[in-house]
Structure 1
Amino acid sequence: MPKRNIIWFRRDLRISDHPALLEAIQTSDEIIALFILDSKLIQHSGSKRLAYLAASLRALDESLNNKLHVMVGEQVEVLQELMLRYGATSVHISTEYEPYGARRDERVEAAGIPLVRTGSPYAVAPGRVVKASDATPYKVYTPFYRAWRVHGWRKPAAKPKTINAITPKDTDRNFPDWKLPQGLSITPAGEKAALARWKIFQKNGLNNYNEGRNLAGIDGTSKLSAHLKWGEIHPRTLLAELGEDKDHDTFRKEIAWREFYADVLFNNPHTEKEYYAPRFAQMRYDAPGEKFEAWKSGKTGYPFVDAAMRQIVQEGWMHNRTRMVVASFLVKDLHLEWQLGADFFMEHLVDFDVASNAHGWQWTAGSGTDASPYYRVFNPIEQGKRFDADGAYTRKYVPELAHLSAGTIHEPWLHPDGYTHGYSQPIVDHATERLESLARLHEIKADKPQDPRA
């Protein structure tokens, strides 16, 4: 009987630069390619992320010559049934480090299923970059980045020359039929789309990334976050083609932020939902109500905030600059806890990553590791003027203001026709709420001198 291994795909929906897939192939005569639909993850995913996953699974299946098993059921039961049916001796996986995935894999192993871990979704796996002085994890990004670069990473793994996979039965081809709701749009899914987007970014955006990454109205970011989230491309593939100039190094640092947050969550798994700096749990917060609903629907009366909130609902993606702006507005203008915003992002983002989401929010809230200090409050008007200077981004998502010029679009109250097309009045006064935010900070005795860079 031929030796058979299962390759269990999760957040690694590709065939190139895939060490676990290579290991499964090299140690067997035939592989069983498998994806298990996880009911818990489905429950916490919005329609856009599910539609993207459905498309990504179809793309992976095409790469595997239509030999992907897509199974519905509890993981242990599915794996045991397939191992018995095919006589498979082991299950190959990419190691997962985020809390849910790690617990799931421990449960599978506890049931007696041998998992062979090879590689991970990261260039450097969480837990490997530690201080030379005492082998403890880094709590601040900049020294982490320096140590991460010194540690280094492997070259991209080779693409398999051949994949001898077992053809699944029709009953094992349970591809989900998750459709994108009418009127919404998401980025194309799959490994081919990821590699194509990387080439486009290398040609058109990478060499101006240091400046262009902050401008919301241009195609200045890589837009690879969804592809990285689902493992349609590995960060090693990107890092291998970067040089040492400023723009390339800035992009490398963005990849390192993703790895830093994964490392922080790995070492502090409770911070997926809890404050990294516990004192912030004692701060006075308001209860969510009408203002929270206005924030979610992009009707705060602050154009740059509203454009971003409408973008995430329509496209399942938001520019990184505006992610910080809307997060600051929720926590420091509306005085709501960061977890409310993080949960909203979890529902809508196609690129939702538990570590980046939780600690991106905590960075802006001021409660996280290497945090932007709480006393730094993003001014939603000035942020719009600076990073959407011509108003193109705001006009695209807030058509009620399309008639306004660049000089007035971020302050429609200054134009006599600013509200003639139904745009919302501001739900709060930013200057007033900024002072209130600082007063609440003082109450928990965490205040610091004003940062002149804010």
Structure 2
Amino acid sequence: MTSVLWLRRDLRRGDHPALLAAREAAGDDRVCVLFVVDPGLWERGGPVRRAWLAASLKAAQEDFDGRLVIRHGDPATVVPAVAEEVGAGSVHVTREVTPAGRRRDQRVQDALDGTDVEWAETGTPYAVGPGLVRNGSGDPYKVYTPFYRAWHEHGWPQPAAYPRSLDLVDIDSHQEALDLLEEALRQDDLPEMPEAGEKAALARWRDFRDEALDDYDGDRDKPATDGTSRLSAYLKIGAIHPRTILADLASRRSQGAQTFEQEIAWREFYADVLLQNPRSAWHDLRQELSGMRYDEPADALEAWQQGRTGYPVVDAGMRQLLAVGWMHNRVRMITASFLTKDLHVWWPAGARWFLDRLVDGDIASNNHGWQWVAGTGTDASPYFRVFNPVTQGERFDPTGDYVRRWVPELRHLSGKAAHQPWKHDDGYAHDYPERIVDHAEERKEALDRYGAARS
């Protein structure tokens, strides 16, 4: 009997257990591959997220031989309707683990109750499904390092086989859905996004693996160097599965390969934390700082968003985000620390800005990364960690190349001089803004506030 494969965060054909399950369930019949443009999610997403999804769906349409069915509407209505339209006996999905995704899936399951259509969940977007890694007492891990050890020991399956032959149902997509996707790609001021799709993801992984992986441990913190994988956007949309990457890493013995595996584990750890603590999506994971005093976002927040704070590495990062929909991870930490600890703004304001403008905006990794910096997340004692934007810039961008690339007003300053224009007579010759706050004063203020909240 025909089966439906409902795609969400798994826009690929290879290493796709739910696709194989749908094909097996169909037997001699066909598979209907479906994506639902949910108007509630669509409207809440920023223009960058919508454009990246649209580009990724366009690429996936080619991967599924032009027979990816794209419909518009509430999934609780659309999925059962499609199942009835094609005479499906089962609906197959990759198991969702985010709070909103789980609520949505429950509504679809409820809508299918009383029908003859089976609901089948196979696999997750992670190498080890969130919730499976537990300590000796059977409890989830609260700290990354022991989680990583247990996650690594737990292990993961080999990549699923590639289904070279698929008999796919060919029914119409909703024109409304197609129009929304095309409109998303035509929006003004979109950043320069990477090439979308499974083929592009695999090509990017191979290039990084063969050319930069072994140097990753030393290069990953240098924002001026192309030393990171840039796979996060593909992992977010499911154009590549982490199992595919980990299978290649298994034969690599360099420190770079080991460190890269640990970075994949961070993504899996944060997904596990979110599964165990759904409220932590938008609220402090740890309540010790619940009495923390924050400032209302105002003009300072806008200066941060636009890269006009007067601190070069902060501004470079924020302008990179606006230009390409991505920011180097080291600079994400620096910019997040500046917002939360120099400007004293509660982390969700920054997390929302990032999610709307990052092509790799993932709620588990993004929001828990913000909390790690803010001192309300998984790290046991980061409240006193206040990144100095000058010393961080000089340490990780010692040549100043990263700053000069994204802050053209400072291109006349050579070397480290780009990190402290206020020390040079011509530092503000090209209308670079002066510092909106004094870091030393705000660091002391932040520590005073943290101390008061903890006591």
SS of equivalent residue, structure 2 residue 102: helix
Runs of 4+ in 1 over 6 A off after TM superposition: none
Corresponding position: 1:406 with 2:410: no
How far apart are residue 386 of structure 1 and its match?
1.0
Q: Which residue of 1 aligns with 2:33?
A: 33
Alignment of 1:94-109 (within 5 A): 94-109=94-109
Asked if the contact 1:92–1:115 (Cα under 8 Å) also holds between the matched residues in 2, the reply is yes
**TM-score, structure 2 length as denominator?**
0.95
Asked if the contact 2:400–2:414 (Cα under 8 Å) also holds between the matched residues in 1, the reply is yes
Q: Which residue of 1 aligns with 2:8?
A: 10
For 1:378 and 1:182, how far apart are their aligned partners in 2? 31
Q: Which residue of 2 aligns with 1:150?
A: 153
Q: Which residue of 1 aligns with 2:196?
A: 189
Q: Which residue of 2 aligns with 1:216?
A: 223
Label 1:75 to 1:380 Cα distance change in 2 as closer, same or farther (>3 A): same
For 1:162 and 1:172, how far apart are their aligned partners in 2? 28
Corresponding position: 1:46 with 2:41: no
**TM-score, structure 1 length as denominator?**
0.95
For 1:54 and 1:412, how far apart are their aligned partners in 2? 41
Equivalent of 1:120, from 103, 124, 129? 124
Asked if the contact 1:381–1:410 (Cα under 8 Å) also holds between the matched residues in 2, the reply is yes
SS of equivalent residue, structure 2 residue 426: coil
Residues 334-386 of structure 1: per-residue CA shift (max 9 Å, x gap): 11101110111111111011110110000000110125611011010011111
How far apart are residue 56 of structure 1 and its match?
0.8
For 1:41 and 1:281, how far apart are their aligned partners in 2? 29
Q: Which residue of 2 aligns with 1:70?
A: 70
For 1:81 and 1:170, how far apart are their aligned partners in 2? 13
Corresponding position: 1:141 with 2:144: yes
How far apart are residue 170 of structure 1 and its match?
5.6
How far apart are residue 323 of structure 1 and its match?
0.4
Aligned residue pair count: 443
C-alpha root-mean-square deviation of aligned residues, in Å?
A: 1.3
Tell me which protein shows more helix as a share of its residues: 2
Q: Which residue of 2 aligns with 1:452?
A: none
Label 1:240 to 1:339 Cα distance change in 2 as closer, same or farther (>3 A): same
| Structure 1 gap segments, 5+ residues each | 447-454
Asked if the contact 1:97–1:126 (Cα under 8 Å) also holds between the matched residues in 2, the reply is yes
How far apart are residue 44 of structure 1 and its match?
2.3
SS of equivalent residue, structure 2 residue 289: helix
Equivalent of 1:322, from 323, 326, 331? 331
Asked if the contact 1:76–1:108 (Cα under 8 Å) also holds between the matched residues in 2, the reply is yes
For 1:315 and 1:84, how far apart are their aligned partners in 2? 42
For 1:53 and 1:18, how far apart are their aligned partners in 2? 19
SS of equivalent residue, structure 2 residue 344: coil
SS of equivalent residue, structure 1 residue 363: helix
How far apart are residue 86 of structure 1 and its match?
1.1
Corresponding position: 1:235 with 2:238: no
Corresponding position: 1:60 with 2:60: yes
Q: Which residue of 2 aligns with 1:449?
A: none
SS of equivalent residue, structure 2 residue 112: coil
How far apart are residue 407 of structure 1 and its match?
2.8
Label 1:365 to 1:96 Cα distance change in 2 as closer, same or farther (>3 A): same
Equivalent of 1:21, from 19, 22, 26? 19
SS of equivalent residue, structure 1 residue 241: helix
For 2:4 and 2:258, how far apart are their aligned partners in 1? 38
For 1:401 and 1:320, how far apart are their aligned partners in 2? 22
For 2:358 and 2:160, how far apart are their aligned partners in 1? 29
Q: Which residue of 2 aligns with 1:129?
A: 133
| Structure 2 gap segments, 5+ residues each | none
How far apart are residue 171 of structure 1 and its match?
4.5
For 1:24 and 1:173, how far apart are their aligned partners in 2? 27
Equivalent pairs: percent with the same residue? Answer: 50
